[in-house]
Amino acid sequence: MAQRPILVTGRKGQLARCLHEVACQHGRPIVALGRPDLDLEARQDIDKLVASIWPSVIINAAAYTAVDQAESEVAKAFSVNRDGAAALADVAWQMNIPFVHLSTDYVFSGTKPDAYDESDIPAPLNVYGASKLASEAAVLAAHPLATIVRCSWLYSPYGANFVRTMLRLAETRPVVRVVGDQVGNPTSAFDLATGLLQVIARLPSIDRRTSAGIFHLVGQGETSWYGFAEAIFDGLSRRGIPVPKLEAVTTDEYPTSARRPRNSRLDSSKAERVFGVRLGAWQHSLDVCLTELLSTAGEADAERNCSSWRQRNAAVPDHTGGQQTVAPGL
């Protein structure tokens, strides 16, 4: 009998693309779906679609992630992040399919002086964070054995993310100003994809009550958005690429529609205890990402489109305020 595939939602997002690539490298069958085939706001045929694939596990990486825009699109953010995720989790529960749901560091206020663990009480500062917190409760209500994974500060060669924005700004601006008083754990989407595949590989051998609930999974080490930008520009300089002057600014000097937590650090020790999964140091993974992005030959991406790093970095939103912005679907 052929191995049942992994089903990933949010096909165009950076995490879904990395999951697809890593799974293919390891010979794991995987199906990635997104709009229009799977639209979490058009939920009437989700059960039929999932039944037609009959996956071994569902990883929900689809989300409304426009953090600032969510402040004026509250209903849409909750429709996708809470209601859509709950509908998908309900289908998974009815079909006895393990369900992994991605959440975010933005469920926290950022006032804690140390890294947040899973026992800390969430208090989101913005609509996006509130919608993702609501999604956690809704998913667990629909699928009591679901595994929820909170991640943070995702970057990769794909989608809209901080690393790609810094590369674009290195070409277009003499001075780049980045927020220096927000700290977190930069996380490679490739590392997270690898970690998630390790998690689901261990699900059959772990008591499902132990694997259910909320887990944090982020890159090892911490920095500010300014420190992250410094590391990116240092990587460019070591490769002989001119870089702009970098200046630190405060959160108050860079106002945004949605408030951001000053502290986004997450403690991933629970995931290591339960699943034996620990992501690598963010500095090393950043270097790997830069090598991929700066390859002059270009690599075939997850959709088999060959492009140079300049083409990949075209038309990426500005992140110089240090805000966490990820591609649709994470």
The whole-number average pLDDT for the span 169-176 is: 93
* Amino acid 2: pLDDT: 63
The whole-number average pLDDT for the span 110-121 is: 97
End-to-end distance of the chain based on CA atoms, in angstroms?
32
- Selecting among 128, 155, 158, 226, the annotated active-site residue is 128
DSSP type of residue 242: -
Answer for the pair 129, 107: CB distance below 8 angstroms, yes or no. Answer: yes
The whole-number average pLDDT for the span 189-214 is: 93
SS (H, E, C) 104-137: EHHHCCCCCCCCECCCCCCCCCCHHHHHHHHHHH
Task: Tell me the pLDDT tens digit for each residue of 124-150.
Answer: 999 999 999 999 999 999 999 999 999
Answer for the pair 67, 113: CB distance below 8 angstroms, yes or no. Answer: no
The whole-number average pLDDT for the span 35-49 is: 87
* Amino acid 314: pLDDT: 39
Residue 250 backbone dihedrals phi, psi, to 5 degrees: -90, 165
Residue 150 backbone dihedrals phi, psi, to 5 degrees: -90, 130
DSSP type of residue 263: B
* Amino acid 327: pLDDT: 28
The whole-number average pLDDT for the span 13-32 is: 94
Residue 128 falls in the annotated catalytic set: yes
Partnered with residue 299 across adjacent β-strands are 307
* Amino acid 326: pLDDT: 26
For residue 319, is pLDDT > 70? no
The whole-number average pLDDT for the span 73-79 is: 96
Tell me which of 60 and 298 has the higher pLDDT: 60
Look over the chain and give the mean of its residue pLDDT values, rounded to a whole number.
88
